[in-house]
Amino acid sequence: MRRLGQKLSNTLTVVTVLLALFYLLPNCLSNTSNSYQLLNHPDGSTYYKLNVTVPQSLYEYYQGKTHQLNSENDFAKFVTPYALKPIADSLLEIYADDEDFANGALMIAHQMPYKVTAPSKYPVETIVDNEGDCDLFCYITASIMKANGLDVVLLYYELETHMNIGISLSHVPRDSRGEAFYVTNNNVKYYVAECTGGMAQGGWRVGECPEELANASAQVITLESCEQSAPGQVSAAYKALQPSTLILTSSTAYAIQGTTITLSGQLSPNLQEKNVTIYFKANNSPWMALDTVKTDSNGHFDYAWNINAGGICYLRASWSGDDDYALAESPIRTITSLSTFFILLLVITVILVFVGAFAYLMSRQTQQGYVEPQAPEIPS
């Protein structure tokens, strides 16, 4: 009996350690930062270092989205202008001309190592992985350009199994080394931009086209169906940003499915009117955006959450940062949501246990009070 108790104790210890690791490991995940070198002009001499940071929560959000391609028109869904808009805003600080801006966006894609990748990925995922192939680099570049309001399309070369992009500019490309190639769609000229290359300085510029594609037929994929919004954004800055912190608390760690609990948070420093996104996942489901709230004058926020899911629920808050402060993410909070079915089952189980125990005790008591009758003595 003592040996069985020791085994149970050891088993409980192992389970406790594993659960602790399970809950703590997500909190150890960190945001990903990459730096990109930019020139003020393809032939200029002024260099800029753009630091781009991807929130872990935003990365996992895109990981949980569908990556399936049913047709060529589905390419457009991988273009995410809003998520990459801070990169576009940073490029606008050094590039006033739309051609220079487009070449700056190309420089970023050109600095990522080439690697054949399947299935397709969203730009945030590619930035974190820091590698990809032609279509992934096109999604990033097109997202940055479209975030600046440029008219951009994807150019898909089915026979060559390749993709690059086309940009409508206010003028004929001036920095193209040779003939400026373009395709026409709905009477609009889209100048070819090759997103592969592997180098920032000396890479492909707008209007330049690889020789093997000069006479190739390209399918023009417009971007009306690209992503229109996202729960968060990357952070982009040329300078070192001041740190910020974000915490998230809940009014309870246990709740009944269908009830409402309060989620509270604090952004430090106490910044007002900042958008904080609350992410949520239940059990083994992908992360999804629950809602976006604004901080008050003290950097505080509250959110009333109606728990529709049952089981183990995970929550965290994320702020994308601004021009002065780096982004911040809260540790993951865990809430156990008990479904009404589970509670009903638990009540029935408890009742059955009590009924069984009562019946057992009554049976024992009856047995103890029972006196076996003696056989009558037969006189000799």
CATH number for 288: 2.60.40.10
% of the chain exceeding 70 in pLDDT? 85
User: What is the pLDDT at residue 358?
Assistant: 75
Return the higher-pLDDT residue of 220 and 341: 220
CATH number for 48: 3.10.620
Return the higher-pLDDT residue of 80 and 27: 80
Q: Are 316 and 288 found together in one domain?
A: yes
User: What is the pLDDT at residue 127?
Assistant: 98
Q: Are 60 and 173 found together in one domain?
A: yes
CB 56 within 8 A of CB 235: no
CB 56 within 8 A of CB 31: yes
Q: Which helix (H) or strand (E) holds 221?
A: strand 219-221
User: What is the pLDDT at residue 314?
Assistant: 97
Q: Is residue 233 part of a domain?
A: no
Q: Is residue 92 part of a domain?
A: yes
Arithmetic mean of pLDDT, 246-274: 96
Does 293 score more than 70 pLDDT? yes
CA 288 to CA 99: how far, in whole Å? 37
Return the higher-pLDDT residue of 175 and 25: 175
- pLDDT tens, residue by residue, 44-61: 678 999 999 999 999 999
User: Within its chain, how far is the Cα of 125 from the centroid?
Assistant: 8
CB 65 within 8 A of CB 231: no
Domain of 286 in residue numbering reads as: 241-362
Q: Is residue 7 part of a domain?
A: no
Amino acid present at 175: D
Q: Are 182 and 324 found together in one domain?
A: no
CA 357 to CA 152: how far, in whole Å? 74
Does 138 score more than 70 pLDDT? yes
Arithmetic mean of pLDDT, 276-303: 97
Does 268 score more than 90 pLDDT? yes
Q: Is residue 376 part of a domain?
A: no
Q: Is residue 1 part of a domain?
A: no
Arithmetic mean of pLDDT, 231-252: 97
Does 340 score more than 90 pLDDT? no
User: What is the pLDDT at residue 199?
Assistant: 67
Arithmetic mean of pLDDT, 163-168: 98
Structure tokens at 334: 């865990």
Q: Is residue 95 part of a domain?
A: yes
DSSP-assigned states of every residue in 281-307: EETTSPPEEEEEEE--TTSEEEEEEE-
Closest CA to 186 of 137, 153, 235, 148: 153
User: What is the pLDDT at residue 110?
Assistant: 96
Structure tokens at 28: 């150890």
Structure tokens at 165: 């992009």
pTM: 0.83
Q: Are 52 and 102 found together in one domain?
A: yes
Q: Which helix (H) or strand (E) holds 136?
A: helix 134-147
Q: Identify the burial level of 186 via C-beta atoms within 10 angstroms of its C-beta, where 0-12 means exposed, 13-18 middle and 19 or more buried.
A: exposed
């009590």: which residue's tokens?
A: 354
CA 178 to CA 73: how far, in whole Å? 32
Does 300 score more than 90 pLDDT? yes
User: What is the pLDDT at residue 164?
Assistant: 98
Does 7 score more than 80 pLDDT? no
Arithmetic mean of pLDDT, 299-306: 97
pLDDT range class, residue 200, cuts 50, 70, 90: low
pLDDT, averaged across the chain: 88
Q: Are 66 and 122 found together in one domain?
A: yes
Q: Are 178 and 256 found together in one domain?
A: no
What is the torsional sign of CA 119, 72, 74, 183?
positive
Q: Output the furthest CA–CA distance in the chain (Å, rounded).
A: 136
pLDDT range class, residue 349, cuts 50, 70, 90: confident
User: What is the pLDDT at residue 23?
Assistant: 42
């999604």: which residue's tokens?
A: 139
User: What is the pLDDT at residue 8?
Assistant: 44
User: What is the pLDDT at residue 18?
Assistant: 42
User: What is the pLDDT at residue 354?
Assistant: 76
The number of domains in the chain is 2
Q: Are 248 and 333 found together in one domain?
A: yes
Q: Are 267 and 307 found together in one domain?
A: yes
| Cα angle: 317, vertex 322, 327; to 5 degrees | 35
User: What is the pLDDT at residue 246?
Assistant: 98
Amino acid present at 332: I
Q: Identify the burial level of 142 via C-beta atoms within 10 angstroms of its C-beta, where 0-12 means exposed, 13-18 middle and 19 or more buried.
A: buried
Residues in the chain: 380
Does 181 score more than 60 pLDDT? yes
Query: CB neighbours of 374 closer than 8 A, spacing ≥ 6?
Result: none
Q: Are 256 and 212 found together in one domain?
A: no
Last residue of a domain, one of 221, 256, 273: 221
Structure tokens at 149: 């309001």
Q: Is residue 378 part of a domain?
A: no
Q: Are 204 and 248 found together in one domain?
A: no
pLDDT range class, residue 377, cuts 50, 70, 90: low
Q: Are 196 and 253 found together in one domain?
A: no
Q: Is residue 250 part of a domain?
A: yes
Q: Are 281 and 348 found together in one domain?
A: yes
